[in-house]
Structure 1
Amino acid sequence: MTLRLGLTSDIDFAPLFFPLEAGWAGLPNGITTRTDDPARLEKALLAGELDIAPVNPVLYATHINSLSLLPYPVKATDLASDSIFFISTQRPDQLDEATVAVSPNSQTGEMLLKILAAKYYGLNPKPFPVPSEASALEALQGQADTCIISGEAAMRAAGWAKAKGHFVEDLTKAWWIMTGLPLPTYLLAVRKEWTRTDPEATNLARSLMVSFRRAIQSGVEQRSTLLDRASHKTGLPVPALDDHYRLQRYELNEGHLRGLLEFYRRAAAQGLLPQVQDLDFFPSLTPLAATPAPPPRRSQPEQPRPVANPERPARPALERIQATEAPDSAEPETTTPEPEAAPGTPRRSGSRRAAVRAEAKAKGLRVIRGGKDTSGSPGSEDDEES
């Protein structure tokens, strides 16, 4: 049997999928692909036309009985995603109720706004479904007060909306400010029926994860080509795209897991989603730990790094390192006198003249300074000229 994989040409996924499409990283035998926009791929996955495809966290929660998650990769950031924007013609605090234009590609953004609305914005949103991201922007002309834009359309629309004087908010950043947790915006879902019926499912899934790792690495190695293609398609400047892609994370870490489960907990508490007690992965997360980990960071740099802002507080990681190296109790600083130089050896801290005096005294000769015999004077050993 084969694995039917869904890919998207949405430029927000370029570092993940473009290297596969361009042939920079090959796919294992037995895997066929279909390229479409994210909403259509999700429908094809639920219809049994695909076996693995990217899905938003909301769709996974509503179909958790029929879907598992691939442990790698995910699409996430540690702070702001720069790809799910809440755009309003007025500031949200000036709106008691707001009609929100939202497309099928913005399910996660819609759910985020519902979770954040009352506590974070003081807003009661009323969804206004539209067929596409472009339709959501058009609705701002009179049909809706606000809209939610995701993916490639959001990357293009944010600058336009700010230039128009609209309120623009990255919803994943607002989520992070409220909870202190990151939120994966896309997951790779696997049909459970395929995992049960295809005897090669486990091997194919593992091979696919290896291909994804190679694809992401090849994208890093050929970043200029990837950025040029993305810029040509979107019209966005290369530096902006470079900054956007550098924010993206593909490894599923503890913070992403906690953020995702907290997202489900809050949505369930408001009656927006069914309860999600745990996440079901295929294959399990245990084999993934065997992949080579990046080398540990040095606790002490070879050369001190320049300080860009001396008033900026120390980073937490640095504070932890310093704490482990600090003594248990602070001792008053003491100065240990330098040991006496051996006869015939000049002192490191004294002058040449002081060394000559020490040598003369060691040989029993009289030392005359300023017309006075100081050979036996108390403290004469330390009375050195500078």
Structure 2
Amino acid sequence: MTASAAPMRCGRISYTNDLPVYAAFDLGVLEFPGTLVTAVPSELNRALLAGELDVGPVSSFFYAQHGELTTLPGLCIGSRREAKSIQCISRVHPRELAGKRIATTTDSATGRALFDVICRAGYGFTPDLAPSDDPYGEHQRDGTPCVLIGDVAIDAALAEPHNAHDIGKLWYGLSGTDMVYAVWAMRRDRLKALMRDPQGKEWVGGLVFDLHRAIDFGRANMARVIELAQKQCLRPAGFYEEYYKALNYDLDTQAMLGFAAFCKMAQQCGVLDRDVAVPAAPEDTVHVPND
């Protein structure tokens, strides 16, 4: 059996943030070249590393932690400034949370790590981040500050705008740069195996091409994307227009500089313990990475 004989297993984030990427496939405009597996980022991280997925979006901090991963070129989920779906919900500004327990989502590595870096590098304290199965529930019960991602974060910010602190905006205030929250990644050994097989090499190149075509479709047909988003999570009129304007799906030079700044700052304050290769630029071609 060749490296690509079995159907390819591809991850997909179970939030509305990736609909501009996947709407073309959902609507039947493009046929996805594999089997899609939908899950929260932390589960996609685990499954990709375990070899249960061939490719998919993973938390950018998880990518930074694991040298055995490589990225598909030009693809990310990030923000230029505010993110809207990564929030600290707190009755006081995050700079005032030193010594306070902060309930944190376990659904993503990047949101927790980014908040950790902001507190250490920006506010001068190491936050007491306590993983929780229901961080917003804790906040609702007793006011515990919490870090949230995804649609739960959006809904919490809409419900409590006076207590919502957009972590993407906090990062921009600290660094003046973009932030990348997720990248499309593969295990290096899996990519090598595919690239040695003509059929596998064609599949990888076709996947990258189709994902970029899908993003182009999403941008050109935002009304259809928003219609899908409203069916998934109904939100106030105009919300998704602003949300998708805030997000960035191109791993371009600006995004890569922001990601590099995050990794450097994370190393300097002890959140990340290894050097990180900056992900591939849009003009790069998929290649077999060096050992």
TM bin, normalised by shorter chain, reads 0.7 to 0.9
* Greater share of residues in strand: 2
Instruction: Say if 1:84 and 1:154, in contact at 8 Å, map to a contact too.
Output: yes
Distance (Å, rounded) in 2 between the aligned partners of 1:238 and 1:123: 39
Q: What is the match of residue 176 of structure 2?
A: 180
Letter in 2 for 1:228: E
Residue in structure 2 matching 1:37, options 14, 37, 40: 40
Correspondence 1:110 to 2:115? no
- Match 1:171 to one of 167, 170, 189: 167
Counterpart-to-counterpart distance in 2, 1:218 and 1:286: 21
Partner of 2:289: none
Q: How does 1:245-264 map to 2 (within 5 A)?
A: 245-264=244-263
Distance 1:271 1:124 in 2: 10
1:16 matched residue in structure 2: 21
- Report the CA distance between 1:174 and its aligned residue: 1.3
Once residues 278 and 38 of structure 1 are traced to their aligned partners in structure 2, the CA distance between those partners, rounded to angstroms, is 21
Residues in 1 aligned to 2:220 and 2:254: alpha-carbon distance in whole angstroms: 27
**Aligned residue type for 1:60:** Y
Unaligned 5+ segments in structure 1 are 289-386
Q: Secondary structure at the match of 1:158?
A: helix
Any conservation in 2 of the 1:228–1:238 contact (CA below 8 Å)?
Answer: no
CA distance in 1, matches of 2:235, 2:271: 35
Q: CA shift at 1:71, angstroms?
A: 0.8
- Structure 1 equivalent of residue 185 of structure 2: 189
The one of 275, 285, 288 equivalent to 1:287 is 285
Distance 1:10 1:277, change over 3 A: closer
Q: Per-residue CA shift, 1:54-85, capped at 9, x if unaligned?
A: 11111111112x11011132112222221111
TM-fit CA distance, 1:3 = 2.8
Q: 1:70·1:188 contact (CA, 8 Å) conserved in 2?
A: yes
Tell me how far apart the structure 1 counterparts of residues 270 and 50 of structure 2 sit (CA, whole Å): 26
AA in 2 matched with 1:92: P
Tell me how far 1:183 sits from its aligned partner. 0.9
1:229 matched residue in structure 2: 228
Q: Which structure: greater helix fraction?
A: 2
SS in 2 for 1:71: strand
Report the RMSD for the aligned CA atoms in angstroms. Answer: 2.3
Higher relative contact order (CA 8 A, sep 6+): 2
Match in the other structure for 1:138: 137
Determine the C-alpha separation between the residues in 2 that align with 1:226 and 1:280.
Answer: 27
Length-normalised TM-score, structure 2: 0.87
After the TM superposition, which residues 359-370 of structure 1 pair with which residues of structure 2 at under 5 Å, given as runs?
Answer: none
Describe the SS at the equivalent of 1:181: coil
Identity fraction in percent:
24
Could you say if the C-alpha distance between residues 188 and 81 of structure 1 is closer, same or farther in structure 2, counting changes exceeding 3 Å? same
Between structure 1 and structure 2, the one with the greater Rg is: 1
Find the aligned partners of 1:121 and 1:284 in 2 and give their Cα distance: 35
Alpha-carbon deviation of 1:214? Answer: 2.2
Structure 2, gaps ≥5 residues long: 287-291
Q: Structure 1 residues 69 and 143, CA, compared in 2 at 3 Å: closer, same or farther?
A: farther
- d(CA) in 2 for partners of 1:212 and 1:85? 28
Change (3 A) 1:242 1:42: same
Q: Which amino acid aligns with 2:62?
A: L
